[in-house]
Chain A
Amino acid sequence: MATVIMKWLETTPGAYDRGIRLLTLGRLYPLKQRIATEYIQTNGRSDVRVLEIGCGTGTLALMMAEKGAQVTAIDASPAMLTEARGKAAEAGVLESINFQHLNVTELGQHFEPASFDVIVSTLVFSELPTEVSQYALLACSQLLKPGGRLLIADEMVPSATWKQLIYWAVRLPLVVLTWLLTRTSTAPLRDFSNALAQAGFVSRQVESLLGGSLQLIEARPEEAVEMVPPTAYPRLRHRITLKTLALDLLSLVNRVIPPYPKIRTGLYRVGNPDRDAPVLLTGNYELTVRRLVKTLDGQVDCWLVVANSQGINVWCAAGGGHFTASDVISGLKTSGILEMVDHRALILPQLCANGVDGWHVRQETGWGVHWGPVRARDIPAYLQNGRKKNQPMRQANFPLRDRLEMTTVMLFLYAFLLLIPVLIFWRPYIFLIYGLMISISYFYGIFLPWIPGRDGLGKGAVLALLTLVGLWAWSLGWGQLEPASLFGWSLGLGFLAFFVGAEFQGMSPLMRGEQANWSVEGLVGGATLLVYAAGRLLFGGGL
């Protein structure tokens, strides 16, 4: 279900660049310059090979290419790579940079061991789950030539307590501001020198900025370390506790504004799976995993790989580009599932097919990809049928129960958004306004399938019309509203109804994406305000 307003989560490459500049207060750029000047020394050689992991829009890759190095730059986001290629072409260094669409867990199979003099990575490891970052570090130590260096510039949580206090005092407002402006956020690394040591690196801090929250680390491989997968994996059970009830309440009150409750990524057991047990994969949204386990526990013995969808449900995460083939591949390679089963058949949620390229997963991992049913409760029957779906299993629907749940979720958001304007302008009417909003929303949620209109905008317009008819009928029959205040109420309620109707599109799995609605809603809202202002001039009064 579309339980997150997707448009809020979309990060474009340009916005990402701005977000990172803001989060690091502009200090990342000089750090990149330092890497390029100090560590990329070609001394006339033309065969200095550098690998950049997560090149983003290519700032550092360009600097290093201009120093004469042969740069291989990988990124998991095609949009970032397109932007980076454009910048490289403009700077005239496109020939010396080899851009590749890869993620960190694919390094080993695409490059020969000992093929790079330097590996650099800025603000990548802070975005990786622990097991993925460990896997990537091991890959780096194999890819480096003898005497090679790994350079990591990233956000870190300082180790001293007093520094942490200052750090959070500065960081918290910065995080909120950055997220609001650019939808970009990062999760700083903790205890990274320890992670490096575990992967066989000896490391030292080269530079520490912003009170230790932005650091440049230089590491060189000292000993070869094998990745030791854990032998026991936690078992997930269906339990109702105070904590799950609190999380349920939280997901009803706020499902839209991050942070979303997450579950640790990695491999889990459901029941007692053996080496032939089916392998399911899903995102790390807490509610998704809990609802999945609720239907599976006691019915099915299977392995569950929880991959990184940034705590967003799979449908929205896949639609917004936060859950891709790259995350699925990382999950398969780093969770330890490869050692636990003899087969290579992966069951993915059908609703992530809008973002996870199944062929890419097949190609990179050799696993067969099977699209499971839309709803978790169909999984037992799907597995019993030998991974065959019948028609209802593959079809999304939006039954009354889900519509009521989504209406409630949205109402909490509207109530929150409306609170300040209502308190300032229409304080005496607060219960009336909220009561009307709740009635209109539930009316819409219940009768949605029968309200004419092909999308949220159409249905919203119909809802606004119905509301106005209701208002005027009441005013003619029972109410004694002054023309001026009828005018004000009509505009206010009409727009509210239209907004509710149009916004709901993002919550429904049966309507087209709603990125476009935001602008139309804004236009209609602006027009409403203009009409209201004009009306006030004429009538000299209002709501």
Chain B
Amino acid sequence: MSLKEMVAQEIRTVRELRYLNIEFDPERCSGTWQCYEVCPIGLWMPNYGTRVVEYGDAQQCIACGACVLQCQPQAIKLVVAKG
């Protein structure tokens, strides 16, 4: 790996961690609320009416990845925010 590539890689990692965003597909949510069970920030909240979860302020997310791992239907993704 050249020095230029290494620097680019580092900048990517910094960006990814700083500007992470949540991508959630409610259509896929199966309503097991595992994300709600595991989120250490309390970002995910169940909606008792629709049975689907909702999330709060994505900037609070610490990117631990617990919700992504525990979501069996893979409705949650952590993505790099644009801009």
Contact = CB atoms under 8 A, between A and B. Distances in A.
Interface of A: 319, 350-351, 353-359, 371, 374, 389, 391, 394-396, 454-455, 509-516, 519-520
Contacts of A358: 34, 70
A519 B14 contact: yes
B70 A394 contact: no
B72 interface: yes
Interface string B3-32: 000000010011011101000000000000
Nearest to A324: B69
A394 B37 CA distance: 7
A511 B41 CA distance: 10
A455 B18 contact: yes
Interface of B: 10, 13-14, 16-18, 20, 34, 36-42, 59, 61-66, 69-70, 72
B40 A509 contact: yes
Contacts of A512: 17-18, 20, 61-63
Given A353-B69, A357-B70, A516-B14, A395 B63 contact: no
Q: What is the interface of chain A mostly: helix, strand, loop, or mixed?
A: loop
A513 B70 contact: no
B42 A516 contact: no
B18 A396 contact: no
B39 A509 contact: no
A319 B62 contact: no
Contacts of B39: 394
B69 A357 contact: yes
10 contacts: A353-B66, A354-B64, A354-B69, A357-B70, A371-B37, A371-B38, A509-B40, A512-B17, A516-B16, A519-B10
B4 to A, nearest CB: 14
A359 B70 CA distance: 7
Nearest to B71: A359
Contact of B17 (A353, A355, A359, A513): A513
B28 to A, nearest CB: 15
B42 A391 contact: yes
Contacts of B37: 350, 353, 371, 389, 394
A515 B63 contact: no
Contacts of A351: 40
B69 A509 contact: no
Contacts of A514: 17
Contacts of A356: 69
Given A454-B59, A512-B17, 12 more contacts: A319-B64, A353-B38, A354-B38, A357-B70, A374-B40, A394-B37, A396-B41, A454-B18, A512-B18, A512-B63, A516-B16, A519-B13
A353 B70 contact: yes
A246 B75 CA distance: 47
A395 B40 contact: yes
B62 to A, nearest CB: 5
Contacts of B40: 350-351, 374, 394-396, 509
B78 to A, nearest CB: 10
A355 B67 CA distance: 10
Contacts of A519: 10, 13-14
A356 B69 CA distance: 8
B70 A395 contact: no
A218 B10 CA distance: 46
A338 to B, nearest CB: 24
Contacts of B17: 455, 512-516
B41 A354 contact: no
A514 B39 CA distance: 19
Q: Of residues A319, A359, A511, which shows the largest number of chain B Cβ atoms within 10 Å of its Cβ?
A: A359
A454 B63 CA distance: 13
A356 B36 CA distance: 16
A359 B39 CA distance: 16
A387 to B, nearest CB: 11
Contacts of B63: 512-513
Nearest to A391: B42
Given A353-B66, A511-B62, A519-B10, A395 B42 contact: yes
A14 to B, nearest CB: 11
Contacts of B61: 512
A518 to B, nearest CB: 9
Nearest to A508: B62
Closest 5 CB pairs of A and B: A353-B38, A396-B40, A353-B66, A354-B66, A354-B64
Contact of B69 (A355, A394, A513, A515): A355
